[in-house]
Chain A
Amino acid sequence: MNAVDATDRGAVQQDVEPPSLLTIILDTNPHAWALLADSLPLSKVVANLLVFINAHVAINHANRVAVIASHSERAEWLYPTPTQPRQQHDQANGATHDGDGERADVHPPNDANKYRPFAQLEHALVTNLRRLMTTTTAPSLSTSPATLLAGALTRALAYISKQTAALPTATTSTQFNYSDPSSSTAAGGNDLNTDPTKAHTTLGLTSRILVVSVSGDLADKYIEIMNAIFACQRLSIPIDVLKLAGDPVFLQQAADTTGGIYMHLATPQARAGFLQYLMFAYLPDQTARENLIMPAGEGEGVDFRAACFCHKRIVDVGFVCSICLSIFCEPLADGTCLLCGSHLSMGNYGRNPAVVPKRKKGKGKKRALDSGADTPAGSGGEGTPAPG
């Protein structure tokens, strides 16, 4: 009677791996690439990325790719090609030919030696990248030395969310529904303890983001990047990071928080093996990762420093406004929070920090702290010796 066992009912469908959407964010910051030109020029990286993308597409017919350039003064799609918004001078024509008009020009030359989807993808990507580079002006370069990673991440997320929703799946009902907290998983998607692998198997489309990063200074957009990271975490989208240069702070946190892979190719030798790194570590999608031990992550420490709001410095000890939780790198001159405007007592910061005491701890400490807070002359706290 084994054959009537209910356990093998769904077995047939489990065989087909879910398609996977790979979103690559390529940091095209010209400043940083100029520094790397000797060991690993951008052109070589793009060529290697194309092989990587082709490999990804080759693995499954339904696999998809999106590429976004995080440029110095804007974040732009490289693939798929966006249609350019028609400006006012187009008005006279009316709007009869909306849609694909602009896409027509991206057809690649016919080549019998190349798989056509690959050829189309490469052609579109290279064309768009070239357009991006030619439209970059010198003045815009000089003003913004950083890269707009936050924008690129946000656009990638918007695209992923739309693609995931649009894909007709056999199990639509189990899809993550962020706008209706009452439905689906127990904690409305915020539950860290739900097994992420389970979510993957039921999703129609598994997505991941790969950030190829060369720029360091991201502190300007600290909050926006963190917002994007938490969104990824909620949607269980891993952010893989391949760092070629620059300091790692926030991207390492991103990979750690979302369960992605973080690697830093610091030496020219390591950078020479760029393609091999991609193919070995970054190609496996979530389905394959269930069976593989992925590099890094747990293996090494993670830098968890934060950026202060006042000077965009990266700090490991900061001052936090108790009202709005803004981080400052130094005590505020006039005792007013720069963001929420509350008047803050800076009391005994240097000696005994005003911590939120744990209930378990001894009573004496708490009382001392309370009484300190109750005295109206709180601002004079600097002078009083620290209790306890």
Chain B
Amino acid sequence: MTSTASQRALDYLEQLPGTTFTKLYQQPSTALAIFRRMLPHLAKTLVMAILYMPTPLSVSDLETWVKPDHESLQARDRALSILQRLRILFDTHDAAGRAAYKLSDAFARSLRLALTGGGNHRSFGVPCSTPDKTPVSIDYLDTFARKQWEAILYYVVGSASAGLGAEVDISAGTKQLLQKGEFVAMRGRTAHITQAGFTFLLQEINAQIWTLLIVYLEVSSSLQMDPVDVLSFLFTLGSLELGISYSTSNLTPTQQQMLEDLADFGLVYRRTSDDAADRYYPTRLATTLTSDAPALPNASLTSTATGMTTGGAGGASAPQNEKGYIIVETNYRLYAYTSSPLPISILSLFATLHTRYPNLITAKITKSSIHAAITAGITSDQIITYLTTHAHPILRRQQPVLPPTVVDQIRLWQIEGERMTAWRGYLIRDVGSAEEYEKAVAYAEALGVLRKEFKAKGSFFVTRMDQMSGYFKAQAVRKREAIAQREAEARGGGGGAGRK
């Protein structure tokens, strides 16, 4: 869960007030989607273990459950941290008064409902009871989704190199959204791609959608749309089945309004013309929203889902999310099996194009091409990630996927230019004794927030503070208790020490 999109989604969710969470977790589909999409693996295991437990799980029990090696402890701390940030797990005390964890009531109830079925929440989408007069095939939905989404990408790319996608038409709302998200910046009347825009472009498609949707969420709250409505509808979309039409009847007005925007993105398909206006089809972009397995193009649903084996193959014009098409050689040559202008224009951002054949283009990664990309705001990591996610199956067979020389060289080219990196964060100093300092640093490292420690000065730098402050508070409490106990012992003459 380190992909930028998930991180952003997490950050967005985290800043929501607690009541929003309670409302969100009323919907089983939301609980399920958050469980599936946002949590690290160990956290999922943990949640499931506690889910049907009648009493809270005491901290010491958890400690005996997790292996004591460094890696496991780190995984545990990260899992706990994310669970607490998402208001899923709370500290509490068990019957014996020991510290313990329990799940948020609303979340636990909803997740149990999701697993067992039942209730009357209708959050997994209401399928249309009547068959559509003109049924829509999955192929058609795929084509539609691709067309819509690529139009957005064209717009972003087109703003990089004018003339390429200028005539592509996307709705004004989407354009605004792209500006709000700072993917493009308007200078005069023409749009120019920004660094965030490049990041956006080079992500794999699932992450792109999330990035855009987060922006949508941020914007929507300023438009007086209820974020709970918006979010739960998004999560509902993720649990729908491809190729089935759903009824709009139980949607809130906010959600009705959203349908239109989502249709612009290509997430849902609906016909407004005829009598079919009360039904909508989710496209593949929507149904894979809560899937976190982009590496498995065809296994996007459990094997029960229909049309899984053939549905994904959209032919040569389906470059993204389907299968890789780029081959990189150790001599920096790059071959891309594509005829679609979109990937070509993306490639041209950081590689020098050489020849173009009907289904293949050849290019070369050069110092100047990388430098051009870096000056445009693309980072080497973005380029490498892009090449990796779109690597041809032949490349994927080897480990590492990309030739190490090329990867290293791209990074070196970037480093030539920049020798400083800036992080926002917090400097923690005056921690106390050397031992306490060590402990605090170890804790920060386990959380994954430690950036740098300055051992000689006894201070260290973290990127996130909330967990750390909780830690220090707990430490302070413990210290005070210890002092109090010592005093009590001193007073009682070492006779019957009161508290443990």
Contacts and interface: CB of A to CB of B under 8 A. Distances in A.
State if A and B touch, Cβ cutoff 8 Å: yes
Interface of A: 1, 3-4, 6, 9-10, 12-13, 15-17, 19, 50-51, 54-55, 57-65, 80, 110-122, 124, 167-168, 170-174, 275-276, 279-280, 283-284, 287-288, 290-293
Contacts of B42: 288, 291-292
Interface stretch (B189-197, B273-281, B370-378, B397-405): B397-405
Is the contact region of chain B dominated by helix, strand, or loop, or is it mixed? loop
Would you list the 6 A-B pairs with minimal beta carbon distance, nearest first?
A114-B117, A291-B72, A61-B291, A112-B122, A120-B304, A112-B126
B296 A279 contact: no
Nearest to B241: A116
B1 A12 contact: no
A4 to B, nearest CB: 5
Contacts of B129: 110
A226 to B, nearest CB: 31
A17 B72 CA distance: 15
B2 interface: yes
B121 A113 contact: yes
Contact of B67 (A15, A59, A292): A292
Given A58-B36, A60-B293, A283-B49, A113 B301 contact: no
B45 A284 contact: yes
Interface string B117-132: 1111111111101000
A243 B487 CA distance: 54
B484 interface: no
A168 B36 CA distance: 22
Nearest to B288: A61
Interface string B388-408: 100001001111111010011
Given A61-B291, A62-B296, A279-B51, A115 B75 contact: no
Contacts of B29: 115
A62 B301 CA distance: 6
B301 A117 contact: yes
Given A9-B400, A113-B119, A292-B66, 17 more contacts: A3-B411, A9-B407, A10-B401, A15-B2, A54-B114, A54-B116, A61-B288, A62-B299, A113-B118, A115-B28, A117-B241, A117-B301, A120-B304, A168-B296, A276-B53, A290-B72, A292-B45
Nearest to B410: A4
A66 B390 CA distance: 32
A117 B45 contact: no
Contacts of A283: 45, 48-49
B16 interface: no
B284 interface: no
A173 B52 contact: no
7 contacts: A16-B294, A16-B295, A111-B117, A112-B126, A114-B117, A115-B239, A279-B52
B162 interface: no
A117 B305 contact: yes
Of the listed residues A63, A114, A293, the one surrounded by the most CB atoms of chain B closer than 10 A to its CB is A114
A16 B51 CA distance: 24
Interface in B246-304: 250, 288, 290-304
Contacts of A80: 303-304
Contacts of B294: 16
B124 A115 contact: yes
Contacts, number: 183
B397 A172 contact: yes
Given A9-B400, A54-B115, A283-B45, A64 B67 contact: no
Nearest to A108: B304
Contact of B72 (A1, A15, A284, A292): A292
A2 B254 CA distance: 49
Contact of B408 (A6, A59, A62, A65): A6
B415 interface: yes
Contact of B127 (A6, A19, A112, A124): A112
Contacts of A112: 122-127, 250
Contacts of B41: 17, 59, 287-288
Contacts of A19: 293, 296, 299
Contact of A9 (B45, B126, B404): B404
A62 B300 CA distance: 6
Nearest to A283: B48
Nearest to A171: B399
A305 B352 CA distance: 70
A50 B401 CA distance: 39
Contacts of A116: 124, 239-241
Contacts of B293: 16, 19, 60-62
Nearest to A48: B52
Nearest to A122: B117
B66 A10 contact: no
Contacts of B291: 61-62
B102 interface: no
Interface in B27-53: 28-29, 32, 35-36, 41-42, 44-45, 48-49, 51-53
A338 to B, nearest CB: 46
Nearest to A13: B295
A168 B65 CA distance: 34
A111 B72 CA distance: 40
A170 B294 CA distance: 12
B66 A293 contact: yes
A51 B111 CA distance: 11
Interface string B1-26: 11100000000000000000000000
B412 interface: yes
B71 interface: yes
Contact of B66 (A111, A174, A291): A291
Given A15-B3, A115-B114, A293-B64, A59 B36 contact: yes
A170 B396 contact: yes
Contact of B411 (A4, A16, A57, A61): A4
B21 to A, nearest CB: 19
Contacts of A168: 296-298, 393
A54 to B, nearest CB: 4
Contacts of B299: 19, 61-62, 167
A50 to B, nearest CB: 8
Contacts of A65: 302
B208 interface: no
B415 A1 contact: yes
A64 B127 contact: no
Of the listed residues A10, A124, A279, A287, the one surrounded by the most CB atoms of chain B closer than 10 A to its CB is A279
Contact of B49 (A1, A13, A279): A279
A6 B384 CA distance: 13
A283 B72 CA distance: 17
B174 interface: no
Contact of B304 (A62, A117, A288): A117
Interface string B337-381: 000000000000000000000000000000000000000000000
Contacts of B295: 13, 16, 170
Contacts of B125: 112
Contacts of A118: 114-115, 117
Contacts of B290: 61
Nearest to B69: A291
A117 B304 CA distance: 7
Nearest to B388: A12
Given A12-B385, A113-B118, A55 B126 contact: no
A9 B407 CA distance: 8
Of the listed residues A118, A120, A170, A290, the one surrounded by the most CB atoms of chain B closer than 10 A to its CB is A170
A110 B127 contact: yes
A16 B291 CA distance: 11
